[in-house]
Structure 1
Amino acid sequence: MTTPGDPPHPAQTEHHAPPPVARLTIAPHTDTARRLDGLWWPHSTDLLAELPELLAALPFDWPRITHATVNGTGWPALPSHTLVAGHVVRLRRTTGRQGPDTICLVSSGHGRWDLLIIPPTTPEPEAVRMMAEMARTGEPTPA
């Protein structure tokens, strides 16, 4: 029996978990051009849910991202744009290129950054190893 002074039952207590943190590794800066600028290990293939965390985790010296293009068949259809932190980000999904999934982040007039996407279902030890190698050498190791 519950009395008016008893705390609520655990099932009735509202729980607010913090949003997931973006799992992102940026390659070390060098003067040599490279094909990939980093690795991103999203929690899901829901780009609309994942993109805000990804963009918030980018280095502070990167300009505002205005376009994002994901390549790969694991991504559902996307709207043409979304709002992230009050700014429009144009979205595009391509499926024609063979190879691993990537996301190309573009800042109009400032450049582009290409990130290899580690599939969300990748086992944690494998994904962590890939991210550590990217941080150390600037090159990913195969999944």
Structure 2
Amino acid sequence: MTATIDRLTFSERVTSPPARLSLTPAGSAPGLLDGAWWPRSRDLSHELPALVDVLDACWGRITRVTVNPTHWSVIPRKVAVGGRKVHVGWFADEQDPHKLILLSYTAGRWDLLVIPPETGAAAAARLMAAAATPGGLATAGALMAREDTSREVQESLDREEEWETEGGHASAAAESPDPPGPVSPARGM
């Protein structure tokens, strides 16, 4: 997979809707993730400003963001946030494709699960709750794999239910085999 880096300097910020975010409670036991973010699109230039605005207020001034390019086709070098620049970088092999890392010079590092924009609301709610669990030991990739498995099982159950309700279930008469009896020889042989 190749990533395209947007080499343009940051442009005027377009007002974006509030970030869909779930964070571990302040002062809780540290875990592998500090919460989850559910962007509305795969456009980092459009999605990051709203996220950074919220997190600046919670965690201090965010100065750098890193992503894995697997799920982002264009990665801007800088994003405008409140009249300043936030640097954006990427790591293909070193960073989980489902994780976003935020850095602050004064306050440290935070790791967020990135929920794909096309995820349904129920699945996103489960993932956000799991990622924001204090002291959680699941990685971003493990949470996504667990959700994928859960979705596949549910889809299989739904298909079976649909098959049953559409007459796929054999009738009681068809379920019992023919009674044993003498086999008559074929005539005319």
Decide: shared fold, TM above 0.5. Answer: yes
- Looking at structure 2, the residues matched to 74 and 134 of structure 1 have their Cα atoms a distance apart, in angstroms, of 19
Number of residue equivalences: 125
- Looking at structure 2, the residues matched to 23 and 112 of structure 1 have their Cα atoms a distance apart, in angstroms, of 20
Contact 2:33 2:131 in 1 (8 A): no
Between structure 1 and structure 2, the one with the greater Rg is: 2
Q: CA RMSD in A?
A: 2.3
Tell me the residue number matched to 2:67.
Answer: 70
**Secondary structure class of the residue paired with 1:39:** strand
Q: Percent identity?
A: 42
Find the partner of 2:113 among 106, 111, 116: 116
Contact 1:72 1:97 in 2 (8 A): no
Q: Deviations over 1:118-143 (max 9, x none)?
A: 111111111012223444x3347542
Query: TM-score with structure 1 length normalisation?
Result: 0.75
Find the partner of 1:107 among 104, 110, 117: 104
Q: How does 1:17-96 map to 2 (within 5 A)?
A: 19-30=16-27, 32-58=29-55, 60-96=57-93
TM-superposed deviation, 1:66: 0.3
- Per mean C-alpha deviation after superposition, the further-off stretch among 30-39 and 80-89 is 30-39
Tell me the residue number matched to 2:151.
Answer: none
Q: Deviations over 1:14-66 (max 9, x none)?
A: xxxx8422110001234533211010010111111000111122272411100
- Looking at structure 2, the residues matched to 90 and 99 of structure 1 have their Cα atoms a distance apart, in angstroms, of 19
1:33–1:129 distance in 2 versus 1, CA, 3 Å: closer
Pair 1:125-2:122 in alignment: yes
- Where structure 2 has 5 or more consecutive residues not aligned to the other structure, the ranges are 1-14, 148-189
1:126–1:31 distance in 2 versus 1, CA, 3 Å: closer
1:117–1:131 distance in 2 versus 1, CA, 3 Å: same
- Where structure 1 has 5 or more consecutive residues not aligned to the other structure, the ranges are 1-17
1:22–1:125 distance in 2 versus 1, CA, 3 Å: same
More strand by share: 1
- Per mean C-alpha deviation after superposition, the further-off stretch among 87-96 and 71-80 is 71-80
**Secondary structure class of the residue paired with 1:120:** coil
